[in-house]
Structure 1
Amino acid sequence: MKTKVSARAVYSLLNVLVLVFLLFPFAWMLSASFKSQIQVLNPEDLFVFVPTIKNYISVFHDHDYLKYMTSSLIVGALSTTGALVLGLPAAYSIAKYRMQGVAVVILVAKILPGISYLVPWYILFNKLHLIDTYVGLILSHMVIGLPFIMWIMIPFFEGFPREVEESSWIDGSSRIRTFAQMVLPVSLPGIITSSLLAFIFSWNNFMFSFILSGEKTKTLPIAVYNFMGGTSVDWGGLMAAACIITIPVILLALLTQKYVVSGLSAGAVKG
Protein backbone atom coordinates (compact mmCIF):
# COMPACT_ATOMS: atom_id res chain seq x y z
CA MET A 1 0.00 0.00 0.00
CA LYS A 2 2.81 2.40 0.92
CA THR A 3 4.55 1.55 -2.35
CA LYS A 4 1.44 2.51 -4.34
CA VAL A 5 1.09 5.77 -2.43
CA SER A 6 4.77 6.61 -2.99
CA ALA A 7 4.53 5.78 -6.69
CA ARG A 8 1.42 7.95 -7.04
CA ALA A 9 3.15 10.84 -5.22
CA VAL A 10 6.18 10.58 -7.50
CA TYR A 11 3.93 10.42 -10.56
CA SER A 12 2.00 13.51 -9.40
CA LEU A 13 5.24 15.38 -8.72
CA LEU A 14 6.55 14.56 -12.18
CA ASN A 15 3.29 15.77 -13.74
CA VAL A 16 3.57 19.05 -11.84
CA LEU A 17 7.18 19.52 -12.94
CA VAL A 18 6.26 18.86 -16.58
CA LEU A 19 3.35 21.30 -16.39
CA VAL A 20 5.54 23.98 -14.84
CA PHE A 21 8.20 23.41 -17.49
CA LEU A 22 5.63 23.69 -20.31
CA LEU A 23 3.46 26.48 -18.94
CA PHE A 24 6.12 28.80 -17.49
CA PRO A 25 7.20 30.24 -20.89
CA PHE A 26 3.59 30.99 -21.80
CA ALA A 27 2.90 32.51 -18.35
CA TRP A 28 6.01 34.67 -18.67
CA MET A 29 5.00 35.74 -22.18
CA LEU A 30 1.51 36.67 -20.99
CA SER A 31 2.78 38.64 -17.99
CA ALA A 32 5.46 40.38 -20.07
CA SER A 33 2.80 41.57 -22.51
CA PHE A 34 1.41 43.73 -19.68
CA LYS A 35 4.81 45.19 -18.73
CA SER A 36 6.79 48.17 -19.93
CA GLN A 37 10.20 47.69 -21.50
CA ILE A 38 11.92 48.53 -18.20
CA GLN A 39 9.75 46.09 -16.24
CA VAL A 40 10.45 43.26 -18.68
CA LEU A 41 14.20 43.69 -18.29
CA ASN A 42 14.07 44.14 -14.51
CA PRO A 43 14.24 40.80 -12.59
CA GLU A 44 12.64 42.44 -9.55
CA ASP A 45 9.42 42.94 -11.55
CA LEU A 46 9.16 39.29 -12.57
CA PHE A 47 6.11 38.52 -10.41
CA VAL A 48 5.03 41.86 -8.86
CA PHE A 49 4.45 44.76 -11.23
CA VAL A 50 1.90 47.38 -12.26
CA PRO A 51 0.21 46.07 -15.44
CA THR A 52 -0.32 48.21 -18.51
CA ILE A 53 -2.26 47.67 -21.74
CA LYS A 54 -0.11 50.07 -23.77
CA ASN A 55 1.53 47.16 -25.60
CA TYR A 56 -1.83 45.89 -26.90
CA ILE A 57 -2.91 49.41 -27.84
CA SER A 58 0.36 49.81 -29.77
CA VAL A 59 -0.09 46.44 -31.49
CA PHE A 60 -3.55 47.25 -32.82
CA HIS A 61 -3.31 51.01 -33.23
CA ASP A 62 0.26 51.64 -34.33
CA HIS A 63 0.97 48.36 -36.14
CA ASP A 64 -2.49 47.57 -37.59
CA TYR A 65 -2.54 43.97 -36.39
CA LEU A 66 -6.19 43.53 -37.33
CA LYS A 67 -5.09 43.60 -40.98
CA TYR A 68 -2.44 40.92 -40.35
CA MET A 69 -4.91 38.76 -38.40
CA THR A 70 -7.30 38.97 -41.34
CA SER A 71 -4.54 37.90 -43.75
CA SER A 72 -3.58 34.94 -41.54
CA LEU A 73 -7.22 33.91 -41.21
CA ILE A 74 -7.82 34.07 -44.97
CA VAL A 75 -4.70 32.07 -45.81
CA GLY A 76 -5.24 29.52 -43.04
CA ALA A 77 -8.95 28.96 -43.71
CA LEU A 78 -8.70 28.75 -47.51
CA SER A 79 -5.56 26.61 -47.57
CA THR A 80 -7.11 24.17 -45.08
CA THR A 81 -10.40 24.08 -47.00
CA GLY A 82 -8.59 23.46 -50.28
CA ALA A 83 -6.48 20.71 -48.71
CA LEU A 84 -9.65 19.04 -47.35
CA VAL A 85 -11.45 19.23 -50.71
CA LEU A 86 -8.53 17.54 -52.49
CA GLY A 87 -7.17 15.42 -49.67
CA LEU A 88 -10.27 13.61 -48.42
CA PRO A 89 -11.21 11.96 -51.76
CA ALA A 90 -7.54 11.20 -52.43
CA ALA A 91 -7.07 9.58 -49.01
CA TYR A 92 -10.27 7.56 -49.49
CA SER A 93 -9.08 6.26 -52.87
CA ILE A 94 -5.66 5.33 -51.48
CA ALA A 95 -7.25 3.52 -48.53
CA LYS A 96 -9.84 1.57 -50.52
CA TYR A 97 -7.61 0.59 -53.44
CA ARG A 98 -4.55 -0.17 -51.26
CA MET A 99 -2.20 2.14 -53.15
CA GLN A 100 0.73 1.73 -50.79
CA GLY A 101 3.23 3.26 -53.20
CA VAL A 102 1.24 6.48 -53.37
CA ALA A 103 0.98 6.48 -49.57
CA VAL A 104 4.78 6.27 -49.31
CA VAL A 105 5.14 9.24 -51.69
CA ILE A 106 2.72 11.21 -49.51
CA LEU A 107 4.74 10.31 -46.43
CA VAL A 108 7.92 11.53 -48.10
CA ALA A 109 6.19 14.79 -49.07
CA LYS A 110 5.02 15.13 -45.48
CA ILE A 111 8.45 14.73 -43.88
CA LEU A 112 10.42 16.82 -46.38
CA PRO A 113 11.53 20.14 -44.85
CA GLY A 114 9.45 23.02 -46.10
CA ILE A 115 12.52 25.05 -47.02
CA SER A 116 13.22 22.59 -49.86
CA TYR A 117 10.11 23.92 -51.63
CA LEU A 118 10.92 27.60 -51.29
CA VAL A 119 13.33 28.13 -54.19
CA PRO A 120 11.14 26.37 -56.81
CA TRP A 121 8.06 28.12 -55.43
CA TYR A 122 9.66 31.52 -55.57
CA ILE A 123 10.84 31.04 -59.16
CA LEU A 124 7.47 29.65 -60.27
CA PHE A 125 5.32 32.19 -58.42
CA ASN A 126 7.53 35.03 -59.60
CA LYS A 127 7.01 33.95 -63.21
CA LEU A 128 3.24 33.72 -62.62
CA HIS A 129 3.17 37.07 -60.75
CA LEU A 130 1.86 35.38 -57.60
CA ILE A 131 4.38 36.89 -55.16
CA ASP A 132 2.56 38.95 -52.50
CA THR A 133 -0.80 37.44 -53.42
CA TYR A 134 -3.19 35.32 -51.39
CA VAL A 135 -3.25 32.72 -54.18
CA GLY A 136 0.48 32.13 -53.87
CA LEU A 137 0.40 31.86 -50.08
CA ILE A 138 -2.64 29.56 -50.09
CA LEU A 139 -1.08 27.23 -52.66
CA SER A 140 2.21 27.09 -50.77
CA HIS A 141 0.46 26.24 -47.49
CA MET A 142 -1.67 23.62 -49.24
CA VAL A 143 1.43 21.79 -50.42
CA ILE A 144 2.25 21.07 -46.77
CA GLY A 145 -1.30 20.76 -45.43
CA LEU A 146 -2.51 18.40 -48.16
CA PRO A 147 -0.20 15.42 -47.45
CA PHE A 148 -0.66 16.05 -43.72
CA ILE A 149 -4.45 15.69 -43.99
CA MET A 150 -4.20 12.70 -46.32
CA TRP A 151 -1.81 10.80 -44.07
CA ILE A 152 -4.07 11.28 -41.03
CA MET A 153 -7.25 10.32 -42.91
CA ILE A 154 -6.02 7.17 -44.64
CA PRO A 155 -6.31 4.99 -41.45
CA PHE A 156 -9.86 6.27 -40.86
CA PHE A 157 -11.00 5.29 -44.33
CA GLU A 158 -9.21 1.93 -44.12
CA GLY A 159 -11.18 1.14 -40.98
CA PHE A 160 -14.58 1.85 -42.53
CA PRO A 161 -16.37 -1.50 -43.18
CA ARG A 162 -16.43 -2.47 -46.83
CA GLU A 163 -19.70 -4.34 -46.30
CA VAL A 164 -21.53 -1.16 -45.33
CA GLU A 165 -20.43 0.55 -48.54
CA GLU A 166 -21.40 -2.44 -50.68
CA SER A 167 -24.86 -2.61 -49.12
CA SER A 168 -25.31 1.08 -49.88
CA TRP A 169 -24.30 0.51 -53.51
CA ILE A 170 -26.74 -2.39 -53.82
CA ASP A 171 -29.50 -0.07 -52.60
CA GLY A 172 -28.74 2.24 -55.51
CA SER A 173 -26.51 4.82 -53.89
CA SER A 174 -23.61 6.11 -55.95
CA ARG A 175 -20.03 5.96 -54.71
CA ILE A 176 -19.90 9.73 -54.32
CA ARG A 177 -23.13 9.79 -52.32
CA THR A 178 -21.95 6.94 -50.11
CA PHE A 179 -18.69 8.74 -49.49
CA ALA A 180 -20.40 12.04 -48.66
CA GLN A 181 -23.32 10.72 -46.59
CA MET A 182 -21.85 7.68 -44.86
CA VAL A 183 -18.06 7.71 -44.80
CA LEU A 184 -17.40 11.38 -44.05
CA PRO A 185 -19.81 11.70 -41.07
CA VAL A 186 -18.25 8.66 -39.39
CA SER A 187 -14.77 10.09 -40.00
CA LEU A 188 -15.63 13.50 -38.53
CA PRO A 189 -13.14 13.27 -35.60
CA GLY A 190 -10.30 12.63 -38.04
CA ILE A 191 -11.43 15.45 -40.34
CA ILE A 192 -11.56 17.93 -37.45
CA THR A 193 -8.19 16.77 -36.12
CA SER A 194 -6.38 16.97 -39.45
CA SER A 195 -7.96 20.29 -40.45
CA LEU A 196 -7.16 21.82 -37.06
CA LEU A 197 -3.51 20.77 -37.25
CA ALA A 198 -3.25 22.00 -40.86
CA PHE A 199 -4.79 25.34 -39.87
CA ILE A 200 -2.39 25.72 -36.93
CA PHE A 201 0.54 25.04 -39.25
CA SER A 202 -0.68 27.76 -41.61
CA TRP A 203 -1.45 30.21 -38.81
CA ASN A 204 2.01 29.83 -37.26
CA ASN A 205 4.02 29.54 -40.47
CA PHE A 206 6.81 32.09 -40.79
CA MET A 207 9.13 30.81 -43.49
CA PHE A 208 6.73 30.66 -46.45
CA SER A 209 5.14 34.02 -45.65
CA PHE A 210 8.55 35.65 -45.17
CA ILE A 211 9.59 34.74 -48.72
CA LEU A 212 6.30 34.78 -50.63
CA SER A 213 4.30 37.57 -49.00
CA GLY A 214 4.61 41.36 -49.01
CA GLU A 215 2.85 44.39 -47.59
CA LYS A 216 -0.51 43.39 -49.08
CA THR A 217 -0.51 39.83 -47.69
CA LYS A 218 1.72 40.05 -44.62
CA THR A 219 0.63 37.52 -41.97
CA LEU A 220 0.91 37.61 -38.19
CA PRO A 221 4.27 35.79 -37.78
CA ILE A 222 5.93 38.30 -40.14
CA ALA A 223 4.33 41.21 -38.29
CA VAL A 224 5.66 39.87 -34.99
CA TYR A 225 9.15 39.75 -36.47
CA ASN A 226 8.96 43.51 -37.05
CA PHE A 227 9.24 44.09 -33.28
CA MET A 228 12.83 42.82 -33.45
CA GLY A 229 15.11 45.58 -34.66
CA GLY A 230 18.78 45.47 -35.53
CA THR A 231 19.89 47.09 -32.27
CA SER A 232 16.95 46.58 -29.88
CA VAL A 233 13.84 44.52 -29.25
CA ASP A 234 10.48 45.88 -28.13
CA TRP A 235 9.89 43.06 -25.64
CA GLY A 236 6.52 44.27 -24.39
CA GLY A 237 5.13 44.70 -27.90
CA LEU A 238 6.70 41.43 -29.00
CA MET A 239 5.07 39.51 -26.13
CA ALA A 240 1.69 41.16 -26.76
CA ALA A 241 1.88 40.25 -30.45
CA ALA A 242 2.92 36.68 -29.56
CA CYS A 243 -0.10 36.38 -27.26
CA ILE A 244 -2.37 37.56 -30.07
CA ILE A 245 -1.03 34.74 -32.25
CA THR A 246 -1.15 32.07 -29.54
CA ILE A 247 -4.44 32.63 -27.72
CA PRO A 248 -6.83 32.10 -30.70
CA VAL A 249 -5.15 28.77 -31.50
CA ILE A 250 -5.36 27.66 -27.86
CA LEU A 251 -9.06 28.55 -27.70
CA LEU A 252 -9.71 26.70 -30.96
CA ALA A 253 -7.89 23.62 -29.67
CA LEU A 254 -9.84 23.69 -26.39
CA LEU A 255 -13.17 23.98 -28.21
CA THR A 256 -12.37 20.97 -30.41
CA GLN A 257 -10.47 19.00 -27.77
CA LYS A 258 -13.00 16.16 -27.64
CA TYR A 259 -12.76 15.58 -31.39
CA VAL A 260 -8.98 15.95 -31.48
CA VAL A 261 -8.41 13.37 -28.73
CA SER A 262 -10.82 10.86 -30.24
CA GLY A 263 -9.45 11.52 -33.71
CA LEU A 264 -5.82 10.95 -32.75
CA SER A 265 -6.61 7.85 -30.68
CA ALA A 266 -8.82 6.36 -33.39
CA GLY A 267 -6.22 7.04 -36.07
CA ALA A 268 -3.53 5.46 -33.93
CA VAL A 269 -5.60 2.31 -33.33
CA LYS A 270 -6.63 1.94 -36.96
CA GLY A 271 -3.15 2.69 -38.25
Structure 2
Amino acid sequence: MTTITGSDTGSAAPARTATNLRTRRKVRKLLDKAGLALAVAVLLAPCLFVFFWMLSLSLKYDIDNTAWPPVFIPTQPTLDNFVHVFDESPMLLYFWNSIQVTGTATLAALLLGVPAGYGIAKARAHGLAALLLLSRMTPGLSYLIPLFTLFQMMGLIGTVWPIALTHMVITLPIVVWIMIGFFETLPQELEEAARIDGASLWQAFRYIALPLARPGIVVGAILSFIYSWNNFIFGAVFAGRTTRTMPVAVYNMLTFESFAWGPLAAAAIVVMLPVILLTIVIQREIVQGLAAGGVK
Protein backbone atom coordinates (compact mmCIF):
# COMPACT_ATOMS: atom_id res chain seq x y z
CA MET A 1 0.00 0.00 0.00
CA THR A 2 1.40 3.36 -1.10
CA THR A 3 1.31 6.21 1.34
CA ILE A 4 1.08 9.78 0.02
CA THR A 5 3.16 12.07 2.12
CA GLY A 6 2.46 15.72 2.74
CA SER A 7 5.40 16.81 0.59
CA ASP A 8 4.08 14.86 -2.40
CA THR A 9 0.65 16.41 -2.03
CA GLY A 10 2.12 19.87 -1.77
CA SER A 11 4.19 19.47 -4.94
CA ALA A 12 1.27 18.07 -6.98
CA ALA A 13 -1.08 20.95 -6.20
CA PRO A 14 0.96 23.69 -7.94
CA ALA A 15 1.41 21.40 -10.95
CA ARG A 16 -2.35 20.90 -11.25
CA THR A 17 -2.90 24.64 -10.85
CA ALA A 18 -0.41 25.44 -13.62
CA THR A 19 -2.04 22.86 -15.90
CA ASN A 20 -5.46 24.33 -15.25
CA LEU A 21 -4.20 27.84 -16.02
CA ARG A 22 -2.67 26.72 -19.32
CA THR A 23 -5.90 24.96 -20.25
CA ARG A 24 -7.95 28.04 -19.44
CA ARG A 25 -5.63 30.23 -21.52
CA LYS A 26 -5.92 27.88 -24.48
CA VAL A 27 -9.70 27.81 -24.19
CA ARG A 28 -9.79 31.61 -23.89
CA LYS A 29 -7.60 31.99 -26.99
CA LEU A 30 -9.82 29.61 -28.94
CA LEU A 31 -12.92 31.51 -27.86
CA ASP A 32 -11.31 34.82 -28.83
CA LYS A 33 -10.38 33.48 -32.25
CA ALA A 34 -13.85 32.02 -32.75
CA GLY A 35 -15.47 35.31 -31.74
CA LEU A 36 -13.19 37.27 -34.06
CA ALA A 37 -13.91 34.90 -36.94
CA LEU A 38 -17.66 35.18 -36.29
CA ALA A 39 -17.48 38.99 -36.20
CA VAL A 40 -15.50 39.09 -39.45
CA ALA A 41 -17.96 36.70 -41.08
CA VAL A 42 -20.93 38.85 -40.02
CA LEU A 43 -19.28 42.00 -41.34
CA LEU A 44 -18.21 40.44 -44.64
CA ALA A 45 -21.43 38.54 -45.31
CA PRO A 46 -23.33 41.48 -46.94
CA CYS A 47 -20.36 42.38 -49.16
CA LEU A 48 -19.76 38.78 -50.18
CA PHE A 49 -23.46 38.26 -50.90
CA VAL A 50 -23.56 41.34 -53.17
CA PHE A 51 -20.48 40.16 -55.05
CA PHE A 52 -21.91 36.62 -55.34
CA TRP A 53 -25.22 37.97 -56.63
CA MET A 54 -23.44 40.16 -59.18
CA LEU A 55 -21.39 37.19 -60.36
CA SER A 56 -24.55 35.09 -60.57
CA LEU A 57 -26.29 37.73 -62.68
CA SER A 58 -23.35 37.92 -65.07
CA LEU A 59 -23.42 34.16 -65.69
CA LYS A 60 -27.17 33.78 -66.33
CA TYR A 61 -29.50 34.44 -69.23
CA ASP A 62 -32.00 37.29 -68.99
CA ILE A 63 -34.88 34.87 -68.44
CA ASP A 64 -33.16 33.55 -65.31
CA ASN A 65 -32.24 37.05 -64.11
CA THR A 66 -35.89 38.09 -64.11
CA ALA A 67 -37.29 34.82 -62.79
CA TRP A 68 -39.25 34.54 -59.54
CA PRO A 69 -38.29 33.03 -57.19
CA PRO A 70 -34.73 34.18 -57.90
CA VAL A 71 -32.24 31.75 -59.37
CA PHE A 72 -29.17 32.12 -57.17
CA ILE A 73 -27.00 29.49 -58.84
CA PRO A 74 -27.30 29.27 -62.65
CA THR A 75 -28.10 25.81 -63.92
CA GLN A 76 -26.54 26.59 -67.31
CA PRO A 77 -23.77 29.20 -66.84
CA THR A 78 -22.98 31.35 -69.86
CA LEU A 79 -20.34 33.88 -70.85
CA ASP A 80 -22.62 35.59 -73.37
CA ASN A 81 -22.99 38.64 -71.13
CA PHE A 82 -19.23 39.22 -71.10
CA VAL A 83 -19.08 38.76 -74.86
CA HIS A 84 -21.93 41.25 -75.22
CA VAL A 85 -20.07 43.84 -73.12
CA PHE A 86 -16.97 43.72 -75.32
CA ASP A 87 -18.94 43.52 -78.58
CA GLU A 88 -21.31 46.40 -77.89
CA SER A 89 -18.79 48.88 -76.46
CA PRO A 90 -15.04 49.58 -76.82
CA MET A 91 -14.34 48.29 -73.32
CA LEU A 92 -10.62 47.89 -73.98
CA LEU A 93 -10.43 51.58 -74.89
CA TYR A 94 -12.23 52.53 -71.68
CA PHE A 95 -9.88 50.25 -69.76
CA TRP A 96 -6.89 52.04 -71.25
CA ASN A 97 -8.45 55.40 -70.38
CA SER A 98 -8.85 54.30 -66.76
CA ILE A 99 -5.25 53.11 -66.68
CA GLN A 100 -4.04 56.49 -67.96
CA VAL A 101 -6.19 58.49 -65.56
CA THR A 102 -5.53 56.36 -62.49
CA GLY A 103 -1.83 55.94 -63.21
CA THR A 104 -1.31 59.67 -63.77
CA ALA A 105 -3.30 60.67 -60.69
CA THR A 106 -1.52 58.13 -58.49
CA LEU A 107 1.98 58.94 -59.77
CA ALA A 108 1.43 62.69 -59.43
CA ALA A 109 0.05 62.22 -55.92
CA LEU A 110 3.13 60.24 -54.91
CA LEU A 111 5.56 62.75 -56.42
CA LEU A 112 3.89 65.63 -54.61
CA GLY A 113 2.43 63.94 -51.56
CA VAL A 114 5.49 62.08 -50.25
CA PRO A 115 7.73 65.19 -49.97
CA ALA A 116 4.76 67.20 -48.68
CA GLY A 117 4.09 64.61 -45.99
CA TYR A 118 7.76 64.69 -44.98
CA GLY A 119 7.83 68.48 -44.77
CA ILE A 120 4.58 68.67 -42.78
CA ALA A 121 5.76 65.94 -40.39
CA LYS A 122 9.11 67.64 -39.74
CA ALA A 123 7.63 71.13 -39.42
CA ARG A 124 4.72 69.89 -37.27
CA ALA A 125 2.42 71.93 -39.52
CA HIS A 126 -0.74 70.14 -38.52
CA GLY A 127 -2.85 73.12 -39.57
CA LEU A 128 -1.75 72.62 -43.18
CA ALA A 129 -2.49 68.92 -42.87
CA ALA A 130 -5.99 69.73 -41.63
CA LEU A 131 -6.47 72.03 -44.63
CA LEU A 132 -5.59 69.18 -46.99
CA LEU A 133 -7.98 66.91 -45.16
CA LEU A 134 -10.69 69.55 -45.53
CA SER A 135 -10.21 69.50 -49.29
CA ARG A 136 -10.72 65.73 -49.20
CA MET A 137 -13.87 66.05 -47.11
CA THR A 138 -15.38 68.65 -49.43
CA PRO A 139 -17.91 67.07 -51.84
CA GLY A 140 -16.55 66.62 -55.33
CA LEU A 141 -19.58 68.36 -56.82
CA SER A 142 -18.37 71.68 -55.40
CA TYR A 143 -15.32 71.53 -57.68
CA LEU A 144 -17.16 70.74 -60.89
CA ILE A 145 -18.40 74.15 -62.07
CA PRO A 146 -15.14 76.14 -61.64
CA LEU A 147 -13.01 73.29 -62.95
CA PHE A 148 -15.30 72.71 -65.91
CA THR A 149 -15.11 76.41 -66.81
CA LEU A 150 -11.33 76.39 -66.47
CA PHE A 151 -10.81 73.25 -68.56
CA GLN A 152 -13.27 74.48 -71.18
CA MET A 153 -11.26 77.70 -71.57
CA MET A 154 -8.11 75.59 -71.97
CA GLY A 155 -9.77 73.34 -74.56
CA LEU A 156 -9.21 70.17 -72.50
CA ILE A 157 -12.80 69.01 -72.16
CA GLY A 158 -13.19 65.60 -73.76
CA THR A 159 -9.61 64.48 -73.00
CA VAL A 160 -8.26 62.34 -70.18
CA TRP A 161 -6.17 65.14 -68.64
CA PRO A 162 -8.97 66.98 -66.80
CA ILE A 163 -10.07 63.68 -65.26
CA ALA A 164 -6.55 62.83 -64.11
CA LEU A 165 -5.97 66.30 -62.65
CA THR A 166 -9.28 66.34 -60.79
CA HIS A 167 -8.60 62.87 -59.40
CA MET A 168 -5.68 64.42 -57.52
CA VAL A 169 -8.31 65.99 -55.28
CA ILE A 170 -8.85 62.41 -54.11
CA THR A 171 -5.38 60.88 -54.29
CA LEU A 172 -3.16 63.69 -52.99
CA PRO A 173 -4.75 64.10 -49.52
CA ILE A 174 -4.68 60.31 -49.06
CA VAL A 175 -0.95 60.11 -49.79
CA VAL A 176 -0.10 63.17 -47.67
CA TRP A 177 -1.99 61.95 -44.62
CA ILE A 178 -0.55 58.44 -44.80
CA MET A 179 2.99 59.73 -45.23
CA ILE A 180 2.66 62.18 -42.32
CA GLY A 181 1.91 59.26 -40.03
CA PHE A 182 4.85 57.25 -41.35
CA PHE A 183 7.42 60.04 -41.21
CA GLU A 184 6.40 60.97 -37.67
CA THR A 185 7.15 57.42 -36.51
CA LEU A 186 10.63 57.22 -38.05
CA PRO A 187 13.57 57.36 -35.62
CA GLN A 188 14.90 60.91 -35.43
CA GLU A 189 18.38 59.67 -34.53
CA LEU A 190 19.04 58.32 -38.02
CA GLU A 191 18.33 61.62 -39.75
CA GLU A 192 20.21 63.58 -37.10
CA ALA A 193 23.25 61.35 -37.59
CA ALA A 194 23.08 61.92 -41.34
CA ARG A 195 22.87 65.69 -40.84
CA ILE A 196 25.85 65.61 -38.50
CA ASP A 197 27.83 63.72 -41.17
CA GLY A 198 27.16 66.59 -43.59
CA ALA A 199 24.03 65.46 -45.41
CA SER A 200 21.57 68.12 -46.48
CA LEU A 201 17.87 67.96 -45.64
CA TRP A 202 17.12 66.65 -49.12
CA GLN A 203 19.80 63.96 -48.84
CA ALA A 204 18.49 62.88 -45.43
CA PHE A 205 15.03 62.60 -46.94
CA ARG A 206 16.21 60.72 -50.02
CA TYR A 207 18.67 58.27 -48.45
CA ILE A 208 17.28 57.82 -44.92
CA ALA A 209 13.60 58.67 -44.63
CA LEU A 210 12.40 57.58 -48.07
CA PRO A 211 13.64 53.94 -47.93
CA LEU A 212 12.26 53.52 -44.41
CA ALA A 213 8.88 54.87 -45.49
CA ARG A 214 8.49 52.36 -48.33
CA PRO A 215 5.54 50.54 -46.68
CA GLY A 216 3.68 53.83 -46.39
CA ILE A 217 4.38 54.69 -50.02
CA VAL A 218 3.02 51.31 -51.11
CA VAL A 219 -0.16 51.73 -49.03
CA GLY A 220 -0.66 55.29 -50.30
CA ALA A 221 -0.23 54.17 -53.90
CA ILE A 222 -2.67 51.27 -53.52
CA LEU A 223 -5.39 53.34 -51.82
CA SER A 224 -4.96 56.14 -54.36
CA PHE A 225 -5.25 53.67 -57.21
CA ILE A 226 -8.43 52.11 -55.79
CA TYR A 227 -10.19 55.42 -55.06
CA SER A 228 -9.19 56.90 -58.39
CA TRP A 229 -10.18 53.80 -60.35
CA ASN A 230 -13.66 53.71 -58.80
CA ASN A 231 -14.38 57.44 -59.09
CA PHE A 232 -17.37 58.22 -61.27
CA ILE A 233 -18.43 61.85 -61.00
CA PHE A 234 -15.38 63.54 -62.55
CA GLY A 235 -15.27 61.14 -65.50
CA ALA A 236 -18.99 61.59 -66.13
CA VAL A 237 -18.58 65.38 -66.42
CA PHE A 238 -15.21 65.84 -68.14
CA ALA A 239 -14.95 62.75 -70.38
CA GLY A 240 -15.89 62.60 -74.02
CA ARG A 241 -17.27 59.70 -76.02
CA THR A 242 -13.83 58.18 -76.56
CA THR A 243 -12.27 59.17 -73.22
CA ARG A 244 -14.71 57.57 -70.82
CA THR A 245 -13.38 55.63 -67.87
CA MET A 246 -14.64 52.22 -66.81
CA PRO A 247 -17.23 53.36 -64.21
CA VAL A 248 -18.69 55.83 -66.73
CA ALA A 249 -18.83 53.11 -69.36
CA VAL A 250 -20.85 50.90 -67.02
CA TYR A 251 -23.26 53.75 -66.29
CA ASN A 252 -23.80 54.35 -70.01
CA MET A 253 -24.99 50.78 -70.40
CA LEU A 254 -28.20 51.71 -68.55
CA THR A 255 -31.18 52.44 -70.77
CA PHE A 256 -34.58 54.02 -70.17
CA GLU A 257 -36.48 51.14 -71.73
CA SER A 258 -35.22 48.26 -69.62
CA PHE A 259 -32.31 46.99 -67.60
CA ALA A 260 -30.11 44.31 -69.14
CA TRP A 261 -29.02 42.88 -65.80
CA GLY A 262 -26.67 40.28 -67.24
CA PRO A 263 -24.46 42.60 -69.33
CA LEU A 264 -24.61 45.26 -66.61
CA ALA A 265 -23.38 42.81 -63.98
CA ALA A 266 -20.70 41.53 -66.38
CA ALA A 267 -19.46 45.07 -66.98
CA ALA A 268 -19.35 45.68 -63.22
CA ILE A 269 -17.26 42.51 -62.78
CA VAL A 270 -14.86 43.73 -65.47
CA VAL A 271 -14.49 47.07 -63.65
CA MET A 272 -13.90 45.40 -60.28
CA LEU A 273 -11.51 42.74 -61.53
CA PRO A 274 -8.29 44.84 -61.72
CA VAL A 275 -8.77 46.19 -58.19
CA ILE A 276 -9.56 42.73 -56.80
CA LEU A 277 -6.50 41.18 -58.48
CA LEU A 278 -4.29 44.02 -57.29
CA THR A 279 -5.51 43.64 -53.72
CA ILE A 280 -4.99 39.86 -53.76
CA VAL A 281 -1.49 40.08 -55.22
CA ILE A 282 -0.17 42.72 -52.83
CA GLN A 283 -2.35 42.15 -49.77
CA ARG A 284 0.76 41.35 -47.72
CA GLU A 285 2.21 44.77 -48.55
CA ILE A 286 -1.05 46.41 -47.49
CA VAL A 287 -1.13 44.62 -44.13
CA GLN A 288 2.55 45.31 -43.43
CA GLY A 289 2.21 48.94 -44.40
CA LEU A 290 -0.88 49.55 -42.28
CA ALA A 291 0.69 47.73 -39.33
CA ALA A 292 3.92 49.72 -39.64
CA GLY A 293 2.03 52.98 -39.79
CA GLY A 294 0.00 52.12 -36.72
CA VAL A 295 3.04 51.54 -34.48
CA LYS A 296 4.26 54.62 -32.66
Structure 1 match to 2:73: 47
Judged with a 3 Å threshold, the aligned counterparts in structure 2 of structure 1 residues 41 and 190 are, in CA distance, closer, same or farther, namely same
1:184 corresponds to which of 196, 210, 214: 210
Q: Aligned-pair distance for 1:192?
A: 0.9
Pick the aligned partner of 2:273 from 237, 247, 251: 247
1:158 aligns with 2:175: no
The sequence identity of aligned pairs, in percent, is 42
Give the root-mean-square deviation of aligned CA atoms: 2.0
**How has the CA–CA distance of structure 1 residues 145 and 9 changed in structure 2, closer, same or farther, with 3 Å as cutoff?**
closer
Change in Cα spacing, 1:240 to 1:106, as seen in structure 2 (3 Å) is: same
What are the within-5 Å matches in structure 2 for residues 1-271 of structure 1?
A: 12-42=37-67, 43-270=69-296
Name the CA distance, whole Å, in 1 between partners of 2:162 and 2:240. 11
Whether the 8 Å CA contact 2:185–2:293 is kept in 1: the answer is no
CA contact (8 A) 2:230 2:247 kept: yes
Segments of structure 2 that go 5 or more residues without pairing to the other structure are 1-23
Between the two proteins, the alignment pairs up a number of residues equal to 270
Unaligned runs of 5+ in 1: none
165-174 or 26-35, which moves further after superposition? 165-174
CA distance 1:174–1:10, shift in 2 (3 Å): closer
Q: Deviations over 1:26-45 (max 9, x none)?
A: 01111211111111111353
**Amino acid in structure 2 at the alignment position of 1:30:** L
Could you say what secondary structure the match of 2:217 adopts?
A: helix
Checking the alignment, whether the CA contact within 8 Å between 2:185 and 2:295 is kept in structure 1 is: no
Give SS of 2:216's match. Answer: helix
The structure that has the greater radius of gyration is: 2
1:197, distance to aligned residue in structure 2 (A):
0.8
Taking structure 1 as the reference length, what is the TM-score of the superposition?
0.92
Offset at 1:244? 0.6
TM-score, normalised via structure 2 length: 0.85
Distance 1:9 1:89, change over 3 A: closer
Amino acid at match of 2:182: F
Deviation at 1:201, TM superposition (A): 1.0
Q: Which whole-Å CA distance do the structure 1 matches of 2:77 and 2:287 have between them?
A: 36
